[in-house]
A and B are shown apart, each in its own frame.
Chain A
């Protein structure tokens, strides 16, 4: 079986995924506040002093956001933006680090089997 990946350097992949993560967090907050308080993009725009189209473009990902704008949008949605830098896990293609660590101790052969089973599990229903 042949699979392939999108060609991206690890730093660019991390950057793209982080940008998407931030945008999706804002979209989620907007959906929650809209349901809870009826908050609209127009009200957010009014609170931070920009046109509604700016808020719309930025939430859609059609326009870049500064760090300051992220904080402003979060504030306008009754949220506080925080950032956390966590250490990267190194074992790609496995799901349960603690299990793999145990297996490494016991048997390196079993480790490769477990890895294969986890990575192929999504294909089982095709």
Chain B
């Protein structure tokens, strides 16, 4: 069994550098699987917005990671939900066009396993598949126990998530 840092050193997971501005501190960490890293590097730059909005998927992913990593409040009120629990310790980050699946090893420490376009996930009913693959990846990763923290409210896994 190993810590996240040891798994990063061995190349089993990768740390996503949020590219914060001067004056911003990295309060929350974002790790990725090799699969998600490859998707971010190879597929994400080619994606267009299914909604034809100005903000392209790679910009959506970048701004989500910036807000998350900088420790800023993730939501305001109950209306907007950028992070939802989908069971079995799996969480989903949302942008207009993307869904990112993973788990929280510790509070404010996310391990992303897979990501895809929202329309593809909905059209092909891929939610359960991605959730299952995320659980499988978590189970096979030689990560220290407990591998994920419990909770169904985003405030359980992220500090400063906030509601009213």
**Which residue numbers of A lie inside 8 Å of B, CB to CB?**
1-8, 12-13, 15-17, 19-20, 24, 27-28, 30-32, 34-35, 41, 59-64, 89-95, 97, 118-119, 121-123, 125-126
Contact = CB atoms under 8 A, between A and B. Distances in A.
A24 B55 CA distance: 14
Interface string B116-144: 00000000000000000000000000000
A8 B41 contact: no
Interface of B: 3-5, 8-9, 11, 14-17, 19-29, 37, 40-41, 44-45, 51, 53-56, 58-67, 73, 75-77, 79-80, 95-96, 106, 109, 164
Given A30-B79, A59-B80, A6 B44 contact: yes
Nearest to A2: B14
A34 B164 contact: yes
Contacts of B9: 1
A95 B77 CA distance: 30
A7 B41 contact: yes
A52 to B, nearest CB: 12
The 4 closest A-B pairs by CB, nearest first: A16-B59, A31-B77, A20-B63, A31-B76
A75 B109 CA distance: 38
A119 B25 CA distance: 8
Contact of B55 (A20, A91, A93, A123): A20
A95 B25 contact: yes
A6 B61 contact: yes
Given A1-B15, A2-B8, A16-B62, A122 B26 contact: yes
